[in-house]
Structure 1
């Protein structure tokens, strides 16, 4: 099944010379990436989890544009968006938010994925490649006359080091994992209220095309619909977390007590457990225990989490 899903990955030209790389089905480790290309240069937005997938993306992009990336940006630290960095040309300048760089620097999963997923992903011949250039809040990249704004939401959301890539002239927004289109959002390394606030921040750009971190490309009325779904989901997590703490429940017990309702059919529903672990940690002023959080997610799911990477 993994190879069948891999073959469905597609390079889509969402605007002239602006491409999205969409990897179905968008679940664990299957991210979207993309690029903005002009005669003056090319900016790649994210890579992919494995060497095979990163090469497939970069080869398709080279075939479509006839260019190699001069610049690249990671929207956050997670391996599905960063492990393929080392497949970029050595001459490509890599950009990231300063906290994203530190997160990738200490990330142990690139050295060997733990058995929380089945099958356990094999990254292939990747190596840890960190940003050459870091930013705190914002940076504008000029590709000739094309302006690309790299912006941090102002606080923790999906992670502490998120960036979006906004092409104002074309009204195209690459959101990274601030948006999961039709899949369960994940904020265990960020903030539930921060992720909720980031939805309104994204809406404020008034994009016409949204390339989410996972899931299909969004246009027109789909954008408002998906952002509203995110708002309702995060409010569900906030209510479940507050009720769980009030009732003395563990994050896993609180998750099991939640009626997911309209979100029950979304892929990766077990992320409710990870998101509640984040809520509990923030409320208690504690560090998130990643091993405990993923162990509980596996227990909620009833076994290792499926991936088709």
Structure 2
């Protein structure tokens, strides 16, 4: 493998945004594999799920919302703690920022390190980083397991269905319409970032999503899935990728191979199947490193710092 530009440093081309109507109450803001935002319009208020990376990028989401409703944006939901998902929160002026207690704990433990790390990884998404207010995005409401919010007569369930992309993952579920906003637990034609993941748990968490039988699903990256068949394809693709990484890594570890060898072999085996997915080259070093950690000696993800990012990249891609 030739030396690659670090993470997404070479990714500087703007993406085409889509604002897809899923129902009277649900919209998906997607941009060709960039982080998605979900929008729920209730009888009396709007809820936004994941905020974009900066307040400047969030302004485009707000502009789209204002084309379809003038109801106040009262709630911001964080599906998890990653900076590209949360640092745009201040733009919405929401009354409440909601996250799982596990996500809150991760912000306490590693929010600052993650912020510095992600800004270094994604120069295009953080072009307007000076618009991010100082400090971190703090939830004002936390929950464990399940929380129900009524937007008038519209029921929104916030659910923790298990660990996967992080230990704090939260999905938003509209039971009346069978529409699910998955955050990064599900991706579509986009590579799952698994640097903070729980590989052993993730497939089971996807099974719990499938058990809800969503008719439509907004993934963390990729186009909105608007039929049950597309939803199944999104779940199956994500499950296959996570399972394939884990199987390759387990095989390498069992054979006594070091991380660099396991990475090279896993990359070569998975590239024919997944190499066309968005951010494949970006994610693979982080994903294999985390999986190797999990299989060998670290049940919980180690904290990524900007320095650790660079050292890992040099070791595996240098």
**TM-score between the two structures when normalised by the length of structure 1:** 0.87
**Alignment match, 1:166:** 173
1:15 alignment partner, SS class: coil
Q: How many pairs were matched up?
A: 294
Deviation at residue 184 of structure 1 after TM alignment: 1.0
1:126 aligned to which of 125, 132, 155: 132
Change beyond 3 A, Cα 1:132–1:118: closer
Structure 1 contact 187–195 (Cα < 8 Å) conserved: no
Aligned alpha-carbon RMSD (Å): 2.3
2:53 aligned to which of 26, 39, 49: 49
Deviation at residue 120 of structure 1 after TM alignment: 8.3
Can you give the 5+ residue segments of structure 2 that lack an aligned partner in the other structure? 1-10
**Alignment match, 1:306:** none
Can you give the 5+ residue segments of structure 1 that lack an aligned partner in the other structure? 303-309
Change beyond 3 A, Cα 1:62–1:232: same
1:95 aligned to which of 91, 94, 98: 98
1:186 alignment partner, SS class: coil
**Alignment match, 1:273:** 285
1:262 aligned to which of 263, 273, 281: 273
CA deviation map 1:137-184 (0-9, x unaligned): 110111111111100023x21001100000011111000000110011
**Alignment match, 1:296:** 312
1:206 aligned to which of 191, 213, 233: 213
**Alignment match, 1:250:** 258
2:256 alignment partner, SS class: coil
Mapped partners of 2:295, 2:195: distance in 1: 13
Mapped partners of 1:262, 1:103: distance in 2: 33
Structure 1 contact 211–217 (Cα < 8 Å) conserved: yes
CA deviation map 1:94-127 (0-9, x unaligned): 1001121232344224357564455683323113
CA deviation map 1:206-228 (0-9, x unaligned): 11110001000112211112222
**Alignment match, 1:305:** none
2:41 aligned to which of 21, 37, 41: 37
Deviation at residue 201 of structure 1 after TM alignment: 1.2
1:284 aligned to which of 288, 296, 315: 296
1:257 alignment partner, SS class: helix
1:225 aligned to which of 211, 230, 233: 233
Mapped partners of 1:274, 1:48: distance in 2: 21
